Structure 1
């Protein structure tokens, strides 16, 4: 059930005069007191997915162009930032500034037609960004407009950080592309918002400061390889090996290792239903190639064969 309380905002719902560098003000952007928070000044506590709450606040809601507090997160907890994503928005009819929790989790892949996000929806949101920028009519908004367009594109391609999906959904809710009632359908079916495997890995490593830039899977594959279960560490990368020796095709990350040759692995995978944490078991190792049992797929079925993977240090 939705929980609501309200604050009136003035001006354009997405006012681009927010404080610099880069946060997007929603509503009246004249009050910088909450710059960089991305949330109302008071909140109701934990929201469930689809729950909405309106804050008793007079300043703007802002969407920072970064994700604060990530440095200490492991892969599983970072995954939860997508699955419990707090999204500020403004109601068009009343001007209330509100927040809702969204669940971004499906597997997308721009190289597979059936797994591709909705390009028409991306274009519609980027058009809204341009129109809103013209209404604001200030040169200072140019950097924000560019950053918002990039964020929407990253989300479309399955490569976004949590804050980029927050920007995408803030525009969608504020300008009526999505409603609270349709939010789950909008994320999963209409916009088809999610991540591909390398998108999640790169977002985690960059957002937590463990690497300075995104890398291709085959670049990570050159990192020092593990040759025994005892060597496996948190944040190690699992890189699937093709039988034909061609380029690697999937990547996942270790959250933590347990006893009995087991480890908890986080990934975005079609067979796992998107973003998932699951227990893997090392069945054997020959040189630097591990045979791993991936546990259960999204339907609760065991995989028929183990996967051949390299396990490498993340840097």
Structure 2
């Protein structure tokens, strides 16, 4: 690459992280309309389907970034656990409790607070909090991953990860009625360990691709961008086709371990990093802002759901999505959720008593 790589800080990862954060908000904004298949105009539904389809790579990209930044560090087990687990336990406890109360009193969920908190060690209290369980599992397994990766080359690691993702493909194909029960699938007891099974390849692949990212040029970046677009477009067209054919919303192509999501996640990650290098000088001029927004990313992920629900239900969100065309409403609601969430987290991090929850 034409730019020097800084061991302590690489603005390109921050850029990719911010884009992924925006895409995650886009998923939760568009999903409101996507699940209303057959109840809203088809053009509105397809706009939401397009946004959702092109955003599904976001979470996997977060795991790729985490692997790139954590697996290469040469810190000891005690040091790693003391730094990482201490930063995630407080947010885990707070947001599990917060969303339990939120679900009970704001969303009017029937399950009691006591029952929800009692099962929190295994099941998230709110749908997006699964990510905290996944992070904890990856932190716990990171020393093991590091020990294994010391004995294999990065090229071998890439090959293993590709085979890992391919091995999960039958689980995805088995979701379709024409193939159901006809393919051998990988079975695991659906516990927190399944996050390692489903997303571990991305975590390791993030580490294995570090050297390759630093060798990207404009031609390779463009190729990966095209592949990403095609994969996401297949998700969009396929979801539309399956939903129309069955008469109800079919989201099979959205979810892990969808092979198209796997492809777009890896190629999209490489494309975004390569693109960030192309615009590197522009990013450097806004380095301070980008680093601050990136620093808020986990907090934004945790808080954006309640912000979105308030904007959607108490303010203008519902009207934007259903009364105004989604092609205008979705971007506005994404931007509003991002700005409000980031502002809360940024200033919250400056308050001693609450900064640790973000």
Fold agreement, TM-score > 0.5:
no
Which is helix-richer, 1 or 2? 2
